[in-house]
Structure formats: structure tokens, C-alpha cells
Amino acid sequence: MDLTKCFDEIRFSIPDHVRIVAVSKTKPVSMIQELHHTRNQYSFGENKVQELISKHELLPDEIDWHFIGHLQTNKVKYITPFIGLVQSVDSFRLINEINKEGVKCNRIIPCLLQIHIATEEAKFGFSIKELREMLDNKIMEDLSHVSIRGVMGMATFTYDEKQIRTEFKTLYKYFNNLRSEYFSTNNEFCEISMGMTDDYKIAIDEGSTLIRIGSGIFGGR
Ligand SMILES: *Cc1c(COP(=O)(O)O)cnc(C)c1O
């Protein structure tokens, strides 16, 4: 199946309020252009700074680029002039750096807080405890050039659907708790980015607002 058909199948099977981020990592610019032109898809996800920069240069400015990989603080400056959403903020050091670079380019950078919900060690993200400590300390309130839009998480890589569902339920609960405790006056805190090709249906059941689909649209990598 071609990518527009794959895209349509997903688009028409999910509720309108759920947005798709087309994860284009490793895929050529021509595929991004095709989806952008034929389906009005604006949001694309990349996980490598160098690859993102090259693609950004070749594609129209209206594309809404999301960074979804582990972001090193020394590379923040390359993407802050144009990034639409940093989904993978996983440390205070990083968000502080994003803020600093936001000041420099006079942009308020939209960010999601990545929370570790999987059992695997390797995946990046805050623990809920770290996040609460950071928010309790109010150290983020001085960050004038970041806008926290919500949370992002990845489930464990497993065939056990019950476990995946439990992890997504946990992320949904964290989102709600954080919203009522720290962001109750901030309407911008509204996104729950969870769900990829193999688990987006479960994620939507459990409250996802943003799904990140790569292989399900563009084919295997
Ligand atoms: C690669 C990637 C995806 C997309 O994965 P697929 O299984 O190809 O849909 C989603 N989120 C993150 C963080 C990724 O790195």
C-alpha cells in the first residue's frame, strides 16, 4: 500500500480531535512532500537534529516540525529558530537551555514533558517524582520562553496489550494530576502524546490527543 492510503486508513479510523504526527525519520523528503501536498499533513516528527535541519531547509516553512528524540543541550540552538514542538523534554537542564535559546531567537518554544512510563530502563523521560520536585521548586516559573503544552510517553515494547494499556492509563492519570496541581490556570497544558504504529488504538482509548505514526504510514525502516 502507498503512503497516502496508509495515512487515510488511520486518519479515517480515529476521532477528529486526535492529531497525527507523521514520524518521517530516515524517510526521504519526497515522501514528506507527498503527504503534505496530497493530504494537507503539516506535522512531522524527527528524532535526529542533523536530519531535521537538512529536511527543514528543503521543505516549506509552514511544516510543523516536532522533535521526538533525545535532545542534547548543545544542539538545542540549531532547532529553536523553527521547531513547532519539542515532545521529548526530559531534564531541567534541557528545558532551561531551550528557554535560553528561545530568548535569543525571540520565540516561545512549545514543549511536552516526557514521562517515563515503560518498564525498560533505556527509555528517556522524567519519573513523576522528579517532575513533581521540579514543579514544586517553581524553578520553571522563570522560564519565559517555553510553553509547556502537556506530556509525552512511550509504552514498553511488548506484545502484552494489558501492560501497554496500564502504562497509557498511568500517563493519562499523571497528566490529569499535573494539570490540576500545577497547570490549572494554563489552558495550553492540554496534550497527551502517546501511541505509535503498534499501539495507537490503545493509546486513543486511554485518552491520547497526539499520536506519533512512522512505519504505519511510511513503511518499515
Ligand atoms: C520512531 C518513533 C515513533 C514512531 O514509531 P513507529 O512504530 O514507526 O510508528 C514514535 N515515537 C517516537 C519517540 C519514535 O522515536
Q: Ligand 1: which atom is nearest the Cα of residue 196?
A: 9
Across residues 61-68, what is the average pLDDT? 98
Q: How far is the CA of 207 from the centre of ligand 1 (A)?
A: 18
> Element (H or E) spanning 202, and its range?
helix 200-205
Q: Using one digit for the tens of pLDDT, what is the confidence trace for 122-158? A: 668 999 999 999 999 888 888 999 999 999 999 999 9
Cα gap 211→193, rounded to integer Å = 6
Set of cell numbers at residue 201: 488504538
Q: Is 178 helix (H, G, I), strand (E, B) or coil?
A: helix
DSSP 3-state of 86: strand
Selected residue with higher pLDDT from 124 and 30: 30
Cross-strand pairs, 22: 44, 213
Dihedral sign, Cα of residue 141, residue 176, residue 214, residue 43: negative
Mean pLDDT of 168-174: 98
Q: Which of 3, 212, 215, 217 to mutate to test the pocket of ligand 1 (most atoms within 8 A of CB)?
A: 212
